[in-house]
Amino acid sequence: MTMTTPSSQLYYSYLHALLFISAMGVLTLLSSPKIQAEESINDKTLLVGTYSCPPFVMIDKPDDYQGLTFLLWDNIATNLNLKYRVKELPLKELLEAVASGKLDVGLSCISITPEREELLDFSHSFYETNLAIAVKQKSHWETFTGIIFNKKLLQILAIVAIAASTVGGIYYLLEHRVNDKLYSMQSRSARLVEGFILGLLFITKGPFNYYEFKTLTGRVVTVLLAVFTTLFIASITAVLASSFTLGLINNDIKGPNDLDNVLTGAKESSTSSEFLTNHSIIHKTYPTVSDMLSALNNGEVNAIVYDDAILRYQIKKAQSKGVFEQLQVLPYQFEKQNYGIVLGENSPYDEEINRELLQFRKSNQWKKTLIEYFKIK
């Protein structure tokens, strides 16, 4: 018969307690969401949402997804051994589906915004661009009439006419009785016309020879006006050059502030539409970028606002096929856009996806592909 001492009983009790605590710790670790996620990340077939957004997502035929975003995603999925299937949805429905858990991932040209971050998670940015404005170029006749009836030009011509009349009138009063060379006409009305012409030449060409004038006052006025007309001509030239250049290329739209005065279009549920709404700019919305471009080309709107990279790509692509030849993107960029992969809140895939994304962004394959897509001949 084996007898147990109180010390040995204490030892066995301590050993049992230690084994129990160790077992509970192992069970806790095994049952933690992170471990379970790591174990199941390769077992689940992810449901990925997308929509057409060339050159980031291009769907030429069913179940054939190409473009920059899918190049990135395929690389990530291959390296992480992820299985997935794709479902096409409009942007708004895609975001709602990821937020509700019906989709695991959203892929396209989706901008990361604070408002979307409240409901969703995003990967790191994989592409950066800005909002831009596209317009339809004027025809040659529209350009000509636009220059002729340009408001700034008409204002400048009025100023020049008033200045010429004033200068001509001053010289007429001082010189017309004593200066037969400058005022050679017989009738008074003809001499007045000569005075206006003199003033116009003075304003537009600069000061005359000091000795052309007979009176001392006329000569003093000539010296004083010499400085004024030099500055005046330089200012008028700069304003006219700027006005003509802008009138030729942009239908008087110089930036977002000018969109208040024209019919504007944007893609529905997009950051460009949100931007216009936040700036109280009334606009029409269209389901796709192609619809927007068609509306602009057909004259339904005077300008459209969307991501610069996408507008430039799609317009150049269309023009290479002989379509939308009068459309152009203006050189005014605003409101930076960062594209990311959409993930549900607390997604178990975010760390792995971000790691692979950052790695691929540094690769030569990514850099070469960017050049290939955006260098359209």
> Whose CA is closest to 197, among 172, 177, 216, 219?
172
Tell me the angle at which helices 308-319 and 364-374 cross, rounded to the nearest 10 degrees. Answer: 50
Record the tokens describing residue 233, joined without a space: 């001509």
Helix (H, G, I), strand (E, B) or coil at 244: helix
pLDDT at 8 over 60: no
Tell me the angle at which helices 364-374 and 68-80 cross, rounded to the nearest 10 degrees. Answer: 160
Record the tokens describing residue 372, joined without a space: 């290939």
Contact 121, 350 (CB under 8 A): yes
| 368 backbone dihedrals φ, ψ, rounded to 5° | -65, -40
| DSSP conformation letters of 187-216 | SHHHHHHHHHHHHHHHHHH-PPPGGG--SH
Answer whether 0.75 is exceeded by the pTM: no
Give the residue-averaged pLDDT of 168-188.
Answer: 76
pLDDT at 339 over 90: yes
| DSSP secondary structure code for residue 256 in this structure | G
| Alpha carbons 36 and 46: distance in angstroms, whole number | 16
Record the tokens describing residue 216, joined without a space: 């001392």
pLDDT at 18 over 60: no
**242-276 pLDDT, tens per residue?**
555 544 444 568 788 889 889 999 999 999 999 99
Cβ partners under 8 Å of residue 172, min gap 6: 183, 191, 192, 194, 195, 198
pLDDT at 90 over 90: yes
- The mean pLDDT of the chain is 82
- 142 pLDDT tier (thresholds 50, 70, 90): low
**346-356 pLDDT, tens per residue?**
888 899 999 99
pLDDT at 181 over 80: no
pLDDT at 50 over 80: yes
Contact 177, 188 (CB under 8 A): no
Record the tokens describing residue 100, joined without a space: 């509700």
| Alpha carbons 87 and 66: distance in angstroms, whole number | 14
pLDDT at 72 over 90: yes
Q: Check residue 81 and give left, alpha or beta (phi > 0: left; psi -120 to 50: alpha).
A: left
The proportion of the chain whose per-residue pLDDT surpasses 90, expressed as a percent, equals: 50
- 190 pLDDT tier (thresholds 50, 70, 90): confident
For CA atoms 152, 157, 160, 161, give the dihedral sign: negative
Residue 141 confidence (pLDDT): 66
| Alpha carbons 14 and 211: distance in angstroms, whole number | 121
Contact 82, 46 (CB under 8 A): yes
Residue 209 confidence (pLDDT): 65
**163-177 pLDDT, tens per residue?**
878 877 877 787 777
Residue 36 confidence (pLDDT): 45
Give the residue-averaged pLDDT of 287-298.
Answer: 95
In the chain the domains, ranked by start, together with CATH numbers, are 40-126+340-374 (3.40.190.10), 134-138+253-337 (3.40.190.10), 143-250 (1.10.287)
Residue 288 confidence (pLDDT): 93
**300-337 pLDDT, tens per residue?**
999 999 999 999 999 999 999 999 999 999 988 999 99
pLDDT at 2 over 80: no
